[in-house]
Amino acid sequence: MKNNPSTKFRTGNVLVTGGAGFIGSHLVDELIKLGYGVAVVDDLSTGKIENINSKAKFIKFDLGSKLAGEKLQPILKNIDHVFHLAAIPRIQYCLEHSNTCHSANVNGALNLLNSCVKNKHIKKFIHISSCMVYGASDVLTVSEDNPVKPKTIYGVQKHMQELYLDLFTRYFNIPSVVLRYFGVYGTKRHSESGSYPNVTAAFSRDKRIKNKLTIYGDGEQSRDFVHVFDAVRAAIMAMRSGFCKGEVFNIGGGEPITINQIATYYKCPIEYKKARVDDVRHCTADITKAKKLLKWQPKISFEKGIKGYLNE
C-alpha cells in the first residue's frame, strides 16, 4: 500500500510534477524517505523513468494537453501538497519551439492550477521557478524585489507561471509558495543535455567527449549555484512552513562563482569562444528572505558539492 498515494499517510500525500527529472526525482526520494505518499506526473520528455523511486505512483501524461484537467482530478483527490516542477527548461529549444514549450510550461501550469481550484483541500502549492525570470540585472546580487526582465523565452514562460499562480492565490485562495532556483547541480543524475543543463553538466560533457572545456566570453561572468540536496530541503521546508503563503523566495548559494573558477575543478584545457549575445554577465541570489522566513540556508559549499559531483 505504500506506493499508493490514495492511501492517507500520517505525513500526507504529495503530487510531484516533473518527478522523473533531476531535481524532481531527488525531491521524490526525500519525500518518500520522510514517510509521504508520493504520486509523480511526468511525460518523460526530459526526465527518465529510471529516476523515479519505485515507491512512488507514476502517471505518464502531458500536463499541457487538453485532457490534462480530466486526468488530474482523480490524482488530486487525496493529495495534500503539490510541487510543480514539470517544464521544458531548455533555453535554445524554447526559443526554436516556443509554441510547444508554451503549451508545456504555461498551459501545463494553468491546467494544474485549475484542477487544484476544484480540489479545495490542497494545503500548499509549491511552484519551482527560476532565476531566469530576472534576466540581466543592474546589480550583482538580486533580491526577490528586483525587477523581473527575462531575456529568454524560457524566462518569460516561467514568469507567466508565476503571474498565474499569484492570481490564483489571490482569487481562489490557493496557498502557494514560489521558489526561484538558481544553478542547481550535484549528482550524476543531472543530465548533460536535458533538464537544467547548467555549466557544471556542460563542462562534464565537454570533458567526456573532447577532453576540453568551452567557455563563451572571458570566463569572468559569474553564476550562483545551489546543491540539489539543499534545493530539495528548501522545497520541503516551504511545504511545511505556515508563514509563507503567497511569498517568493530565492534559493541559491548566495555567492558569485566565475566560470573560470568552476573550470579549475575539471583539470583540462580550455577553449575560449566569442561571448553569446543573450548571456547574463552576473547573477547571484540574495537569500536573506529565505533565511529569515523559511529558516533555510545552504549547507553544502560549492567546493564540497562540485568535488563530490566530479568524484561520484
Q: Which of 36, 93, 134, 154 is labelled catalytic?
A: 154
Find the Cα–Cα–Cα–Cα dihedral 8, 14, 18, 19, rounded to 10°: -60
Contact 94, 71 (CB under 8 A): no
Contact 5, 73 (CB under 8 A): no
Decide if 185 is catalytic.
no
Active site residues: 154
